[in-house]
Amino acid sequence: MTQTINELIGSVVQILLFTLIPFIWWLITARKKENFFSWIGLKKPVGDKKKILLFILGAFVICEVVGMILNNTILKTEWNVSPFAGEGIGGLLAAVLYSYFHTAFSEEIIYRGFLQKRLQKALGFTAGTLVQAFIFGASHVILSYNLITFTEGVALLLYPMLPAILIAFINEKKCEGSILPGWLIHGTLNVITHVSQLW
């Protein structure tokens, strides 16, 4: 129970920290044009629900298959060990909170809600998406630099770029800028990683 409470607190702190820079930017540049939640994409997805669901499912399957292949071939070190590994059922709620809120929600706010939208406005969708995806991939390498080889570093740069690109496409092109579909994909990918290591 303590682990779950700690994770809940950690998730709230992480979300607040990852929302702070976008919020300050919005205050300075867009406060009079659009409300903050809509500006970062925290809004209901708009579009054909069946097509959105198919895109979400397709992106999820592609990312999961590529991730499984990489984790069983190139990425064999301890870079992706869950903080809940070996916790059993007692770690389940904390792992779910961590997966959907601590990492996925806060990262979707900063990467697809803030960076993607600002970069695509400045550079266009394709270039903005590639830059956002590169930054997202690079952050994974930086956080794991002392645990990986050069080859793993390249794979770890490129692999997160795949979901970052797919999520940006779904959010921006199929859901009128909502980051909620991307959050669902990202959180579910994370939860599979963390829950699979509980036992």
Write the pLDDT tens digit of every residue in 183-194.
999 999 999 999
> CA–CA separation, 22 vs 9, rounded Å?
21
Instruction: Give residue 146's pLDDT.
Output: 79
39: confidence class by pLDDT, cuts 50, 70, 90: very high
The 8-class DSSP code of residue 149 comes to -
107: confidence class by pLDDT, cuts 50, 70, 90: very high
Which own/partner contact pairs does 63-70 have at CB distance under 8 Å and 24+ positions apart?
63/162, 63/163, 63/166, 63/185, 63/189, 64/189, 64/192, 66/159, 66/162, 67/159, 67/189, 70/155, 70/159
pLDDT above 90 covers a percentage of the chain that reads: 81
Q: How large is the average pLDDT for residues 79-90?
A: 86
Round the average pLDDT of the chain to a whole number and report it. 93
Q: How large is the average pLDDT for residues 56-62?
A: 95
Using CA atoms, how far residue 58 sits from 2, 22, 64, 126, 163, in Å, is: 37, 29, 10, 20, 11
> CA–CA separation, 15 vs 148, rounded Å?
27
> 79 with 152: CB under 8 angstroms?
yes
131: confidence class by pLDDT, cuts 50, 70, 90: very high
CA 199, 74, 182, 111 dihedral sign is positive
